[in-house]
């Protein structure tokens, strides 16, 4: 079960994967923050949901970690994290000894001896990780994984990838925009956009158009740069994560200004939502998008 301690409350989701069929969304919940503390809300989640029966993952907020793209390090696997700490020590705005570090592999071109092989390094403050772990222990919830939105979005993108081609996925929420490109199930690009969901939902047509123009420029720059760095990957299309009614407006605008097809995602195309019929609404899909993506994770713990 994926759990997110967001600014407005606790989101949680769990899915079941069945061979030969779409993942089934089994459970979804939201407990508003209001004036309640995290311990109170987590205890409520533990009592009123099946969370104690699951391995739980915590989805960090964008402000709670940093993601760095670095060249691959020529060191043995067992020394990789230690070497990465040296690489990151001057990039963090706090002491490296106060950081929890993990590394994500970004494969290079297999047909060119692994050329352009690189890494993503994730860094979060030890104090934050420790505090979050303590919250789960006190609530009696088994916390096995600490995850990030970049990887949660990767999990959904993988379900959409055409065989042998890359896929760009763009989402927006109250923290801003996130562009990812995946290929072969791997995360090759993750780029944050400083455009908030509220800017897309405005009734002011001039402000909305300004946001559309800014998004287009960021996409063009990011994807052009990606194509130059990873010329062995052909990005098939750009997919917009669920946004509600504004998605079609943004799709039309981007399609007329981008060199690739632009689609709008409905989670019904990749997930079985029959147990949670209210999630057929695109606006609600947007709200739970990242938490559902985190619930799709099947790998070992990151941090």
Half-sphere exposure of residue 273: CA atoms within 13 angstroms, side-chain side: 18
Average pLDDT, the chain: 94
pLDDT in tens, 218-241: 999 999 999 999 999 999 999 999
Task: Give the separation between CA 116 and CA 106, rounded to whole angstroms.
Answer: 9
The string of DSSP codes covering 193-224 is ES--HHHHS-S-HHHHHHHHHHHHHHHHHHHH
In which band, very low, low, confident or very high, does the pLDDT at 299 lie, cut at 50, 70 and 90? low
In which band, very low, low, confident or very high, does the pLDDT at 7 lie, cut at 50, 70 and 90? very high
* Mean pLDDT of the 64-69 span: 96
* Tokens of residue 244, six digits: 């509600």
* Mean pLDDT of the 100-120 span: 85
CATH number of 64-125: 3.30.1490
pLDDT at residue 114 greater than cutoff 70 = no
- Name residue, tokens 């970690």: 65
* Tokens of residue 238, six digits: 């750009």
The region, left, alpha or beta by phi > 0 then psi within -120 to 50, assigned to residue 57 is beta
pLDDT in tens, 245-275: 899 999 999 999 999 999 999 999 999 999 9
- Name residue, tokens 């989101």: 11
* Mean pLDDT of the 66-91 span: 90
* Tokens of residue 26, six digits: 């089994």
* Mean pLDDT of the 9-21 span: 94
Parse the chain into domains and list their residue ranges: 2-61+131-295, 64-125
Q: Check residue 184 and give its pLDDT.
A: 95
Q: Check residue 300 and give its pLDDT.
A: 46
Task: Give the separation between CA 118 and CA 110, rounded to whole angstroms.
Answer: 13
* Mean pLDDT of the 97-105 span: 94
What is the pairing mode between strands 99-106 and 118-125? antiparallel
Q: Check residue 113 and give its pLDDT.
A: 67
- Whether 226 contacts 188, CB under 8 Å: yes
pLDDT at residue 72 greater than cutoff 90 = no
3-state DSSP call for residue 183? strand
2-61+131-295 under CATH 3.40.630.30, yes or no:
no
Task: Give the separation between CA 69 and CA 222, rounded to whole angstroms.
Answer: 14
3-state DSSP call for residue 115? strand
In which band, very low, low, confident or very high, does the pLDDT at 303 lie, cut at 50, 70 and 90? very low
Q: Check residue 116 and give its pLDDT.
A: 73
- Contact partners, residue 128, CB within 8 Å, separation at least 6: 64
Task: Give the separation between CA 273 and CA 268, rounded to whole angstroms.
Answer: 6
pLDDT in tens, 118-157: 999 999 999 999 999 999 999 999 999 999 999 999 999 9
Q: Do domains 2-61+131-295 and 64-125 have the same CATH topology?
A: no
What is the pairing mode between strands 2-6 and 56-59? parallel
Q: What are 81-88's contacts with CB under 8 Å, separation 24+?
A: 84/119, 84/121, 87/121, 88/121, 88/123
* Tokens of residue 294, six digits: 């985190």
Residue 270 burial class via C-beta count within 10 angstroms: exposed 0-12, middle 13-18, buried 19 and up: middle
pLDDT at residue 302 greater than cutoff 50 = no
In which band, very low, low, confident or very high, does the pLDDT at 77 lie, cut at 50, 70 and 90? confident
Phi then psi for residue 37, to 5 deg, are -85, 160
Task: Tell me the whole-structure pTM to 2 decimals.
Answer: 0.94
pLDDT in tens, 162-219: 999 999 999 999 999 999 999 999 999 999 999 999 999 999 999 999 999 999 999 9
- Contact partners, residue 292, CB within 8 Å, separation at least 6: 2, 13, 15, 25, 28, 152, 156, 267, 271
């Amino acid at each position: 079960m994926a759990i997110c301690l967001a600014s407005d409350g606790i989101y949680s989701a769990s899915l079941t994967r069945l061979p030969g069929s779409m993942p089934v969304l089994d459970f979804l919940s939201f407990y508003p923050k209001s004036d309640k503390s995290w311990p109170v809300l987590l205890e409520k989640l533990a009592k009123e949901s099946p969370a104690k029966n699951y391995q739980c993952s915590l989805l960090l907020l964008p402000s709670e970690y940093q993601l760095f793209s670095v060249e691959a390090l020529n060191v043995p696997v067992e020394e990789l994290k230690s070497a990465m700490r040296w690489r990151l020590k001057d990039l963090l705005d706090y002491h490296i000894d106060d950081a929890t570090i993990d590394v994500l592999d970004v494969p290079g071109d297999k047909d060119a001896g692994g050329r352009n092989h690189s890494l993503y390094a994730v860094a979060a403050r030890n104090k934050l990780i420790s505090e979050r772990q303590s919250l789960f222990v006190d609530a009696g919830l088994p916390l096995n994984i600490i995850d990030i939105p970049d990887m949660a979005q990767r999990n959904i993108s993988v379900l959409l990838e055409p065989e042998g081609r890359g896929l760009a996925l763009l989402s927006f929420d109250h923290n801003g925009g996130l562009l990812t490109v995946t290929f072969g199930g791997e995360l090759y690009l993750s780029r944050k956009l400083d455009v908030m969901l509220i800017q897309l939902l405005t009734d002011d047509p001039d402000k909305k158009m300004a946001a559309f123009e800014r998004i287009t420029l960021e996409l063009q720059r990011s994807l052009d740069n990606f194509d130059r760095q990873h010329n062995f990957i052909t990005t098939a299309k750009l997919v917009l994560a669920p946004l509600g009614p504004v998605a079609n407006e943004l799709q039309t605008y981007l399609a007329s200004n981008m060199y690739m097809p632009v689609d709008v995602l409905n989670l019904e195309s990749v997930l079985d939502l029959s147990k949670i019929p209210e999630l057929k609404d695109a606006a609600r899909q947007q709200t739970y998008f990242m938490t559902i993506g985190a619930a799709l994770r099947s790998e070992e713990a990151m941090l």
